[in-house]
Amino acid sequence: MSVLVVGSMAYDSVETPFAKVDDALGGSATFFSTAASYFSPVNLVAVVGDDFDMQDIDFLYHRNVNMEGLVREKGKTFRWKGRYLDNMNDRETIYTELNVFEHFNPVLPESYKDSDYVFLANINPDLQYHVVQQTRHPKFVAMDTMNFWISGSLEQLKRTLSVVDALMINDSEVRDLSGEHNLFTGARKIQAMGPKTLVIKKGEHGALLIHNDSYFFCPAFPVENLYDPTGAGDTFAGGFMGYLAMFDKIDDAHLRRAVVYASAMASFCVEAFSMDRLKSLKNEDIEIRANAIVQMTHVNL
């Protein structure tokens, strides 16, 4: 089964306490597609400017990512620059230049409309809703969001939540969206808005899966050489959706396994700038790390 992703492609300039890089390939759709392609074919929808070097994404063609939905427009590609603080969790944005992404209007190619698995990356919730309306009976639709949309486009966000199956969100966003301080009470309120599956990302502290009335916690793999956290959340989402599409099963057992593989993929992402670590992965690397995460939680009672 293939996975449809709608999101951004960008050039990122990143500074960490250890190093920096300028104009590195980034964007939610890029990270997602790279991770998901290790499990399933991917259909990508994004926009880039006429300054975009298509050689930067040759590796995606070789990874069975369908680029029919990539639009190239006159102007500059979306650019972002940020600086990570010493703890590598907090960051400050130096600049954001939306450029051609500012007027992004995702239109699905006809061949994409029958996609069974759909991921709506972090874009305007009106656009996310518009994408869902273009699909034909998808089996599983997941979305990402952020505090900016929660505070500024709440009603539009709620409309989109009503037509998706899963939401990927962090714990502070759960509290902002639900108005509840308790994470679990907040999760129940969000489930009532539409998505019965929540994946609550907690960075280096792992991820919590809530599926209907079931709970599952997955630890993060202990990365000792944390190099660049940019794109880790989108890489996580790509691993999660790609795994589900590969087995084409959406039950509690497969959702739990998907979170484990998602955590494994995210741990690789942070080990280098941009796509550098993800590009060099082998399938056996992923299996070894996923098994290591499982062993972290194994206990005989």
The model's pLDDT over 156-176, given as tens digits with 9 standing for 90+, comes to: 999 999 999 999 999 999 999
Q: Name the residue range of residue 234's domain.
A: 3-296
CATH of the domain at 212: 3.40.1190.20
Q: What are phi and psi of 285, to 5 degrees?
A: -60, -40
Query: What does the H/E/C string look like for the chain?
Result: CCEEEECCCEEEEEECCCCEEEEEEECHHHHHHHHHCCCCCEEEEEEEECCCCHHHHHHHHHCCEEEEEEEEECCCCCEEEEEECCCCCCEEEEEEECHHHHHCCCCCCHHHCCCCEEEECCCCHHHHHHHHHHCCCCCEEEEECCHHHHHHCHHHHHHHHCCCCEEEEEHHHHHHHHCCCCHHHHHHHHHHHCCCEEEEECHHHCEEEEECCEEEEECCCCCCCCCCCCCHHHHHHHHHHHHHHHHCCCCHHHHHHHHHHHHHHHHHHCCCCCCHHHHCCCHHHHHHHHHHHHHHCCCCC
Res 149: pLDDT: 93
**Sign of torsion over alpha carbons 282, 284, 286, 292:** negative
Long-range contacts of 229-232 (CB under 8 A, 24+ apart): 229/84, 229/88, 229/89, 229/91, 229/203, 229/270, 230/12, 230/14, 230/26, 230/82, 230/273, 230/274, 231/26, 231/28, 231/30, 231/31, 231/269, 231/274, 232/203, 232/266, 232/269, 232/270
Q: Check residue 141 and give left, alpha or beta (phi > 0: left; psi -120 to 50: alpha).
A: beta
For the chain, residues with pLDDT lower than 70 are none
Res 19: pLDDT: 87
Res 121: pLDDT: 96
Q: Is residue 301 part of a domain?
A: no
Domain count, the chain: 1
Q: Is residue 45 part of a domain?
A: yes
Res 98: pLDDT: 95
Res 298: pLDDT: 83
Q: Is residue 93 part of a domain?
A: yes
Res 291: pLDDT: 97
**Quick one: CA torsion of 31, 42, 201, 102, rounded to 10 degrees?**
60
Find out whether 34 and 274 touch, Cβ atoms under 8 Å.
no
Measured between alpha carbons, how far is 149 from 122 in angstroms, rounded to an integer? 9
Q: Is residue 105 part of a domain?
A: yes
Res 301: pLDDT: 82
Res 252: pLDDT: 96
Q: Is residue 149 part of a domain?
A: yes
Res 203: pLDDT: 84
Q: Is residue 165 part of a domain?
A: yes
Find out whether 160 and 143 touch, Cβ atoms under 8 Å.
yes
Q: Which of 261, 237, 280, 259 is nearest to 30 (CA)?
A: 237
Measured between alpha carbons, how far is 285 from 291 in angstroms, rounded to an integer? 10
Res 204: pLDDT: 85
Res 297: pLDDT: 86
